[in-house]
Homo-oligomer: A and B are copies of this chain.
Amino acid sequence: MKIIVDMMGGDNAPLAVLEGAAQAVKEYGITVVGVGDEALVRRTAQENSIPLDGIELVNCTEVIDMCDEPARAIRQKKDSSIVVGLNMLKDGKGDAFVSAGSTGALHVGASLIVRTLKGVKRPALATMVPAKKQAYLLLDCGANVECRPEMLAAFAVMGSCYVNKVEGRCSPSVALANNGAEESKGTPMLKEAHQLLKTTPGVRFVGNIEPRDVPGGEVDVVVCDGFTGNVILKLTEGVAKMLLGMLKQMFLANLGGKLAYLLLKGSVADLKHQMDSEEYGGAPFLGARQPVIKAHGSSKAKGIKNAIRQAKICVENDLCGTMQSALDELAAAQKTEE
């Protein structure tokens, strides 16, 4: 299996990407096709004694920056690592694409270059979000700011396939993020989506979920528009960061705090581990014809390695084929209703 990896994406590229790729090659027995500035990558590898066994390098001369306008960058920077990598994926020169680069450019590129599954207009960005009972899949978490009810139904179908195939959860539950449990709650779009989800084939819809219950992690998939999903994802990170920061202050405040830290060290490490989104790899663009995975921009080697593992699981379980079958079923059901 060949996973194409963007060597130039993310805050810590190319070093962290290279480290993560080398670890993935060793641990998962895959081949990595590294796309980027070949001379820079080779020099980084040499300077840091990272073996390039199992990593094929493909040179390209451009990089899409975070400040580039996504659609323009995809059209104009033809020799950028994202455009070259996505074209290789489309042409069958690899099985999946992993990048810690610009989310916007990856979204546009996944749509325009890799193309979308039948029944999907634009892919959704999905993320496993750490929670109390267990992590849940949140989508869309930022790719499509405004959504129609039918899009949310497709998200529910694809999200169910994902947590089933990649996280190994049977008969996953799906909830609609809303400002109340009753089906009469929310905007007109959400009311319509609620009714649609009740009859969406292949989806075990359990109703609305209120924001206060989302961090409980009692459901497997939470669907919403990309604006709401972005708020949920980023605010969860922000509040967790604030509280963990306050906890750290408590430990550093005085001698008693330092002693308490020594006593709690193991539990604190467990807590950090449970809240660490890098454990789950990256965020897949669900709805692209082949697996495209966005790793966190601040990914360290572990985040990249886990995103590559996640890509491998997507390929092994034919996630995209499974999603297409489920979406075809949804389309057939909608046709019968009309």
Contacts and interface: CB of A to CB of B under 8 A. Distances in A.
A177 interface: yes
Given A227-B186, A247-B247, A271-B246, A235 B263 contact: no
A231 B211 contact: yes
A211 B234 contact: yes
A227 B132 contact: no
B263 A256 contact: yes
A234 to B, nearest CB: 4
Interface string A189-232: 00000000000000000000011111110000000001110111
Contacts of A212: 234-235, 237-238, 241
Given A145-B186, A253-B267, A213 B238 contact: yes
Contacts of A132: 242, 245-246
A39 interface: no
Copy count, this protein chain = 2
A133 to B, nearest CB: 10
Given A211-B230, A211-B234, A271 B250 contact: yes
A57 to B, nearest CB: 34
Given A211-B234, A239-B236, A264 B271 contact: no
A131 B186 CA distance: 26
A239 to B, nearest CB: 4
A71 interface: no
B238 A240 contact: no
A142 interface: yes
A213 to B, nearest CB: 7
A263 B249 CA distance: 14
A259 interface: yes
A211 B186 contact: no
A268 interface: yes
A236 B84 CA distance: 41
Nearest to A237: B212
A260 interface: yes
A336 interface: no
A164 B199 CA distance: 50
Nearest to A275: B243
B250 A268 contact: yes
Contact of A231 (B177, B239, B246, B263): B177
A80 to B, nearest CB: 21
26 contacts: A131-B242, A132-B242, A145-B179, A146-B187, A177-B231, A179-B226, A187-B227, A211-B231, A211-B233, A212-B235, A213-B238, A215-B238, A215-B241, A227-B228, A235-B236, A239-B239, A239-B243, A240-B243, A243-B243, A243-B244, A246-B274, A256-B263, A256-B264, A259-B260, A260-B260, A263-B263
Interface of A: 131-132, 142, 145-146, 177, 179, 186-187, 210-216, 226-228, 230-247, 249-250, 253, 256-257, 259-261, 263-264, 267-268, 271, 274
Q: Which 4 A-B pairs have the closest CB atoms?
A: A211-B234, A260-B260, A212-B238, A239-B239
